[in-house]
Structure 1
Amino acid sequence: MTGAPASAAGGSGAKPVRGGKLGTAAVNQASLWNIANILTMVRLLLVPGFVLLLFHNGGYDPVWRSFAWAAFAIAMITDLFDGHLARAYNLVTDFGKIADPIADKAIMGAALVSLSVLGDLPWWITGVILARELGITLMRFWVIRHAVIPASRGGKLKTLAQGTAAGMYVLVLTGPLATLRFWMMMVAVVLTVVTGLDYVRQAVVLRRRSLAAERAAIGRTTEALNEAAGSPGAGAGAGAVAADASASGVTDAGAAGVTDAGVSGAAVRVSGGSTAVEPAVRARDGAEAER
């Protein structure tokens, strides 16, 4: 976009790399006023405009419905581009993460509800599609702590079928085209249900795997702690060294100056895997020499 600030390309003024990896720094640096977010906001603003155009002059004027179709088509086209631009040019922001799915659901929901209010689209179709979209959105929040469900190819095909069918219903079509739009909507409904069930399956599998991994990690940690607690400690090592020193004639009042701290220090080295017990050996040799 001509005249866009440097921050719109990632906030740092550097030229964005197409298809580059998206990191946390890029997400934090992306400006709110970038091209991806602007397209999302345009789509949000088109929702009330689309509804007004659709219902203008009673809702059955072919000319005004053509204008409404144009607004709907622009909104669907921006839906195709804003996410791609955000990922390709590191323009992902928290606003975009929230606003983009809201804009998607808003324009499609407005079209379906408006068409049902006008009597052009059966309410059961609107109910099935909206229930699926709301349910999948809630399900994503349910499993977001465990994993993120990626958008599938079927989900993208579903969105394309819904947009095409709804757009055909917005236009005043007759004859074979009217029949074609009905079957296109049936395809969209089938894809909506099938992909919805597939998302549910993915969510259940991902949640089970995540919980199993968490339990396994907790089990490994507990086992490691138990092994550490059951292994010979510094106290046992100290007792062994003290017994050896006593058998060699080293007493508490020995002239060599062997103290509890010295023996404990040797014991620590032994328990740590070292076989060096030179302080205790030297103390024993000194005591024997004095005798």
Structure 2
Amino acid sequence: MSAASSGSAAADEGGDAHAPPATRVPTLNVANFLTLSRLVLVPLFVGALFTGDGTDVFWRSIATALFAVASLTDQVDGWVARKYGLITDFGKIADPIADKALIGAALVGLSILGELGWWVTIVIAVREIGVTLLRFWVIRHGVIPASRGGKAKTLAQIAAIVAYLLPLPEAVEPVRWILMGFALLLTVVTGFDYVLRALRLRAAGRRATQRP
């Protein structure tokens, strides 16, 4: 994901005092544009999902396609940012917010349509909102980048949601339950991991400010 710091590097002691500073990465770049495009696709996805009361096969397929495209940008923007050095602090924050907006819209939509239990949506929503608040709670000490566990959680959620969005026969319902159950497990486990990382980052930041 587009999620690493882009601050300039400090020169080592004894190095060239006249060395040019590191180039700052502009906030407006391709990787961040892809992240923002994911946010733009969210209302389009919601509109398609509820067209025809959510039961129209054509519009349901369109909604699934929009969700899949939006989810794909999550993978592409991170690759572009890393490959071309377009990693920014803005991307660190905007990327997970865009993910949560997309996933949240899909879960709430499915629950409104009566296809997914509200308790599932609430558990995932509480975790995602909590992690976002944690990021802002420690932001003056640093930014918590997306972890591998967090990325696996997102992929599991996407797979489960796609299974629910697709207009498939009832025979595949057990597969949907298994996928969503696995996504829920990763959601809870990685949520606790983010709490620990936030506490460590805040403690490290406080120690640094207390140094003479």
Instruction: Tell which has more relative contact order, 1 or 2 (C-alpha 8 A, sep 6+).
Output: 2
Q: Distance in 1 between matches of 2:199 and 2:7?
A: 28
- RMSD of aligned residue pairs (Cα, Å): 2.2
Larger Rg over CA atoms: 1
Match status 1:200 vs 2:195: yes
State, as a whole percentage, how many aligned pairs show the same letter: 56
Match status 1:102 vs 2:92: no
Q: Corresponding residue for 2:24?
A: 27
Q: Distance in 2 between matches of 1:78 and 1:134?
A: 21
Match status 1:184 vs 2:184: no
Q: Corresponding residue for 2:125?
A: 130
Q: Kindly tell me: are residues 37 and 53 of structure 1, through their superposed partners in 2, closer, same or farther at Cα, counting changes over 3 Å?
A: same
Q: Kindly tell me: are residues 208 and 185 of structure 1, through their superposed partners in 2, closer, same or farther at Cα, counting changes over 3 Å?
A: same
Q: Kindly tell me: are residues 142 and 22 of structure 1, through their superposed partners in 2, closer, same or farther at Cα, counting changes over 3 Å?
A: closer
Q: Corresponding residue for 1:112?
A: 107
Q: Corresponding residue for 1:41?
A: 36
Is the 1:27–1:90 Cα contact (8 Å) retained in structure 2?
A: no
Q: Kindly tell me: are residues 121 and 78 of structure 1, through their superposed partners in 2, closer, same or farther at Cα, counting changes over 3 Å?
A: same
Residue deviations 1:78-98 (CA, integer Å, cap 9, x gap): 011112212321224565455
Q: Distance in 2 between matches of 1:194 and 1:66?
A: 32
Match status 1:83 vs 2:78: yes
Q: Kindly tell me: are residues 103 and 187 of structure 1, through their superposed partners in 2, closer, same or farther at Cα, counting changes over 3 Å?
A: same
Q: Kindly tell me: are residues 160 and 176 of structure 1, through their superposed partners in 2, closer, same or farther at Cα, counting changes over 3 Å?
A: same
Is the 1:115–1:121 Cα contact (8 Å) retained in structure 2?
A: yes
Aligned amino acid, residue 100 of structure 2: K
Q: Gapped runs of 5+ residues in structure 1?
A: 1-20, 219-291
Q: Distance in 1 between matches of 2:158 and 2:151?
A: 11
Residue deviations 1:194-229 (CA, integer Å, cap 9, x gap): 1101111122233234334444x23xxxxxxxxxxx
Number of matched residues?
Answer: 195
Aligned amino acid, residue 27 of structure 1: R
Task: Please show how residues 1-291 of structure 1 align to structure 2 within 5 Å.
Answer: 24=8, 25-28=22-25, 30=26, 32=28, 34-93=29-88, 96-215=91-210, 217-218=211-212
* Deviant stretches of 4+, over 3 Å: 21-28, 92-99, 212-215
Deviation at 1:167, TM superposition (A): 1.1
Q: Distance in 1 between matches of 2:199 and 2:83?
A: 31
TM-score, with length taken from structure 2 = 0.82
